[in-house]
Amino acid sequence: MTSFDVSLESGLKKLDEYLLSRSYITGYHASKDDLTVHTSLVKPPPSDFVNVSRWYNHIEALLRICGVSGEGCGVTIEGSAPASKEAITTPPVADNKASAVEEDDDDDVDLFGEETEEEKKAAEERAASVKASGKKKESGKSSVLLDVKPWDDETDMKKLEEAVRSVQMEGLLWGASHLIPVGYGIKKLQIMMTIVDDLVSVDSLIEEHLTVEPISEYVQSCDIAAFNKI
C-alpha cells in the first residue's frame, strides 16, 4: 500500500519523485487513490513540485469534466484520518462564485449523483417536446483521454502535438494537454478530447488518422487512457 504525508514538504518531495514516472497514484487510470491524495491537499501544491502540480491539475480537470470511478489499489495519508467512503467517491465541489443563471443551470443537472424524480420528469417532458416538434434527439458525447507516445527522446513534442491537433472532423473537439515523463528523457503527450459518439469512433480515429503518415513521423503509438460518457 502506497503511503504519503503531504502535510510536510518532505512528503510532497517524496510524492513528486514518485510521480516522476507515473500518471496516477496507482495503476494506469485515475482512481479513488488519486481522489484520496487529492482530497488531503488543502491547497494546490507549489509549482516547485512539478510532477505533483501536473498530476493535481490533471485530476482537477477530470473532476470537472467526467469524474473518477476507478477503484484503485489502496493508499494512505500519514498524519490524517482515513477518508470516508463518501469523501472518496464524491468529487469535491469547486468554491467559485457563479452568476444566478449559472446556479439555475447547476440545479438542473447533477453531474455525479443519481437523477431525482423531478429531474427524470423534466427529462421526459423535454424528450416528449422534442418528439412532438419533429426535432432529432442530440447524440451522446464522451470524454476521452489519449496517451500519445513519440518514437524517441529526439522527437519534437511541440510538432507532435500540432500534428495531433491538426486532425479535425465533425463531432471532435480537442481539449487540454500536458507532457508526462516516462523515462530515459522521453515524454508522452496526454491530451483530452470530447467526441460525439454517433460521429466519431475513437478506434478509427487512432488507426486511420493519428498513426498514419504524416503524423506517424512523430507518433509511435496512441492509446486510450480514460473513456467516460458525458
Domain locations in the chain as residue ranges: 2-89, 141-229
CATH code for residues 2-89: 1.20.1050
Q: Please say whether the beta carbons of 202 and 227 come within 8 A.
A: yes
Q: Is residue 149 over pLDDT 50?
A: yes
- What one-letter code names the amino acid at 73? C
pTM: 0.43
Of residues 118 and 103, more confidently modeled: 118
**203: amino acid identity, one letter:** D
Q: Is 67 helix (H, G, I), strand (E, B) or coil?
A: coil
Q: Which of 82, 143, 138 is nearest to 111 (CA)?
A: 143
Which of 184, 195, 186 lies closest to 226, judged by CA? 195
Instruction: Please state, in angstroms and rounded to a whole number, the distance separating the CA atoms of residues 220 and 134.
Output: 46
Q: At the top level of CATH, which class does the domain 141-229 belong to?
A: alpha beta
Cβ neighbours for 111, distance < 8 A, ≥ 6 positions apart: 67
Q: What is the pLDDT of residue 77?
A: 67
- Confidence class for position 88, pLDDT limits 50, 70, 90: very low
Give me the pLDDT at residue 131, please: 62
Identify which of 45, 54, 47, 43 has the alpha carbon closest to the alpha carbon of residue 19: 54
The single residue listed with the C-alpha cell 501536473 is: 54
Distance CA 164, CA 184 (A): 23
Which band of pLDDT confidence, cut at 50, 70 and 90, is reported for residue 138?
low
Tell whether the model's pLDDT for residue 37 goes beyond 90.
Answer: no
Task: Find, among 140, 209, 134, 212, the residue nearest to 171 by Cα.
Answer: 140
For range 166-195, the mean pLDDT:
90
Mean pLDDT (the chain, rounded): 78
The candidate with the shortest Cα–Cα distance to 187, out of 198, 178, 176, is 178
Residue carrying C-alpha cell 513519440? 150
